[in-house]
């Protein structure tokens, strides 16, 4: 697979998580909603143990946490579901301009139900100005959704004032916290939000499972977007995947025990990577420098070099990305880079490298060697094209 530097898109499954999942599949395979036999009771107990573990990790009550298929579904319930549950007098939704597509598309889907959507602008580091939010808040705002840690440029948003202002205006406050557990300690009570979305495959757990925190003190409950057997307090019906719940919980438990040391390690690797890259590639420039950012995130641009061309030349040696994996297959300008003021030509040079738990010094050194060689190839090819163009012009003259 080469050197994997795309951990913000998806992390490898930790072997300890895998072991827990296999054990759950072997012993707790029954439907956790089956109430008439011991196998179902046992599976249900395993699910509730997982829920309690995750709730403890983020600082909430187990009854404030529902399992979802991932952060995308959690975002949809936390934004669109919350909007649909709002009083009739509240028909505005405010979302950060650099939000994940799952939040943006969920918000714009609410337009079909009569809501208006407003994007909160950010500065060059991806930070929202609370003063701008204050101007827009009023008693007709239903939902305010602002991402805690950005998935492209790594910005950690200081939510304190944003949450305080939004709560004072009576709005339902949601945050996409998908990238947060690997970037910082999570205390959901201190954050003060009404809802927060999480994903397992961003924290070395399996894909296909996520969670939505909904505060018991939220001003109202979101409405369900799907219907069925009434599982998860009626907000997310469907048979719960016991082994995925167990794996998700184990991933959170590992972060609880090892997260602080891991973040320090990853940040050191990231800084070493940035330094080495800067020493060997003159054209590299940091995209944004927020006061606080994800420890594994390094978003840079290579001046004059097309990012897609660079990544193609790095295959299969280095795995990185030009933006969010959830917009893969779409060759358009990153809305995050647009929001921080980068023109399309500059944004097209941007690459996100994201280091993680299983990255090491050898990966960093080798990646820099591969990147340097690829950049030199591109520079040489461009120079050759320019010389050929000059020859053709001279012949025409």
Backbone angles phi, psi at 337, to 5 degrees: -70, -35
Residue 242 binned pLDDT confidence (cut-offs 50, 70, 90): very high
pLDDT band at 63 (very low <50, low <70, confident <90, very high): very high
78 vs 112: CA distance, rounded Å: 17
Q: What is the pLDDT of residues 166-176, one digit of tens each?
A: 999 999 999 99
17-53 per-position pLDDT tens digit? 999 999 999 999 999 999 999 999 999 999 999 999 9
When pLDDT is cut at 50, 70 and 90, the band that residue 151 belongs to is very high
Token readout for 61 is 């009550």
Which residue ranges make up each domain of the chain? 15-254, 259-396
Cβ count near 224 (within 10 Å): 18
Rg (CA), the chain: 23
Pairing, β 297-302 against β 284-286: antiparallel
Q: What residues form DSSP beta bridges with 143? A: 93, 172
**Which CATH number does the domain 259-396 belong to among 3.90.1150.10, 1.10.10.350, 3.40.1500.10, 3.40.50.2300?**
3.90.1150.10
CA dihedral 255, 258, 263, 269 (to 10 degrees): -120
Q: How confident is the model at residue 1 (pLDDT cuts 50, 70, 90)?
A: confident
| pLDDT of residue 387 exceeding 70 | no
pLDDT recorded at residue 359: 97
50, two tokens: 């997982």
* Active-site residue flag, 245: no
Question: Is the confidence at residue 331, as pLDDT, over 70?
Answer: no
pLDDT digits (tens, 9 = 90+) for 334-385: 999 999 999 999 999 999 999 999 999 999 999 999 999 999 999 988 776 6
Helix (H, G, I), strand (E, B), or coil: what is residue 351? Answer: strand
Q: What is the mean pLDDT of residues 10-20?
A: 98
* Choice among 60, 245, 319, 326 that is catalytic: 326
pLDDT above 70 as % of the chain: 94
Q: Give the lowest-confidence range in 45-59, 77-91, 171-185, 368-382.
A: 368-382
The C-alpha atoms of residue 288 and residue 122 are separated, in whole angstroms, by 12
Strand locations in 191-278, DSSP E?
A: 195-199, 210-214
User: Is residue 65 within a helix (H) or strand (E), and if so which, with residue range?
Assistant: strand 65-68
Mean pLDDT of the chain: 94
Residue 389 confidence (pLDDT) above 90: no
Q: Which residues pair with 301 in a beta bridge?
A: 285, 350
Backbone angles phi, psi at 90, to 5 degrees: -110, 110
Q: Residue 316: CB partners within 8 Å, gap ≥ 6?
A: 1, 2
- How much of the chain is helix, strand and coil, in % rounded to 5? 45, 15, 40
Q: Work out the pLDDT band at 324, boundaries 50, 70, 90.
A: low
Domain formed by 15-254, architecture: 3-Layer(aba) Sandwich (3.40)
Rounded Cα gap, residues 68 and 241, in angstroms: 10
Query: Which of 196, 269, 208 is CA-nearest to residue 5?
Result: 269
- Indicate the SS3 state at residue 41: helix
Query: How large is the average pLDDT for residues 227-241?
Result: 89
CB atoms within 10 A of CB 139: 11
What's the pLDDT at 384? 63
Mean per-residue pLDDT, 73-84: 98
248's CB contacts (< 8 A; 6+ apart) are 50, 54, 67, 200, 205, 206, 209, 210, 211
User: Residue 332 above 70 pLDDT?
Assistant: no
Task: pLDDT band for 276, please (50, 70, 90 cuts).
Answer: very high
> Does the pLDDT value for residue 230 go beyond 90?
no
Residue 92 pLDDT greater than 80, yes or no: yes
pLDDT tens column, 297-317: 999 999 999 999 999 999 999
Does position 330 have pLDDT exceeding 60, yes or no? no
- pTM comes to 0.93
Round to whole Å and give the CA distance between 321 and 325. 8
Cα–Cα distance, 176 to 257 (Å, whole number): 23
Instruction: Report yes or no: 198 and 71 within 8 Å, Cβ to Cβ.
Output: yes
What pLDDT score was predicted for residue 164?
A: 98
């Amino acid at each position: 697979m080469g050197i994997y530097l795309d951990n913000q898109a998806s992390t490898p499954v930790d072997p300890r998580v895998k072991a827990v999942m296999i054990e759950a599949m072997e012993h707790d395979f029954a439907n956790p909603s089956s109430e008439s036999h011991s196998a179902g009771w046992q599976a249900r107990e395993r699910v509730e143990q997982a829920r309690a573990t995750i709730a403890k990790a983020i600082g909430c009550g187990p009854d404030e946490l529902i399992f979802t298929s991932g952060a995308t579904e959690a975002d949809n319930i936390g934004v669109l579901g919350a909007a649909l549950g709002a009083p009739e007098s509240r028909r505005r939704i405010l979302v950060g301009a650099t939000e994940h597509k799952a939040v943006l598309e969920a918000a714009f889907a609410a337009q079909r139900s009569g809501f208006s959507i407003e994007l909160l602008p950010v500065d060059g580091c991806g930070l929202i100005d609370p003063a701008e939010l204050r101007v827009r808040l009023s008693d007709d705002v239903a939902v305010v959704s602002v991402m805690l840690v950005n998935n492209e440029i790594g910005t950690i948003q200081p939510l304190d004032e944003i949450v305080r202002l939004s709560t004072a205006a009576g709005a339902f406050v949601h945050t996409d916290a998908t990238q947060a557990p690997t970037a910082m300690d999570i205390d959901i009570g201190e954050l003060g939000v009404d809802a927060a979305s999480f994903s397992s495959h961003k924290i070395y757990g399996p894909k296909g499972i996520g969670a939505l925190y909904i505060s018991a003190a939220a001003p109202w409950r979101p409405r369900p977007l799907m219907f069925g057997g009434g599982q998860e307090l009626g907000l997310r019906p469907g048979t719960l995947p016991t082994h995925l719940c167990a794996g998700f919980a184990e991933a959170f438990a590992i972060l609880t025990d090892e997260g602080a040391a891991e973040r320090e390690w990853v940040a050191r690797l990231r800084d070493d990577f940035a330094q080495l890259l800067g020493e060997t590639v003159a054209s590299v420039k940091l995209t944004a420098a927020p006061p606080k950012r994800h420890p594994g995130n390094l978003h840079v641009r290579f001046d004059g070099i097309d990012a897609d061309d660079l990544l193609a030349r790095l295959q299969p040696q280095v795995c990185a990305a030009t933006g969010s994996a959830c917009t893969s297959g779409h060759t358009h300008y990153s809305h995050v880079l647009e929001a921080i003021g980068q023109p399309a030509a500059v944004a097209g040079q941007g690459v996100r490298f994201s280091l993680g738990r299983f990255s090491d010094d050898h990966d960093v050194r080798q990646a820099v060697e591969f990147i340097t060689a690829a950049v030199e190839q591109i520079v040489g090819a461009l120079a050759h094209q320019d010389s050929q163009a000059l020859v053709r012009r001279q012949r025409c003259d």
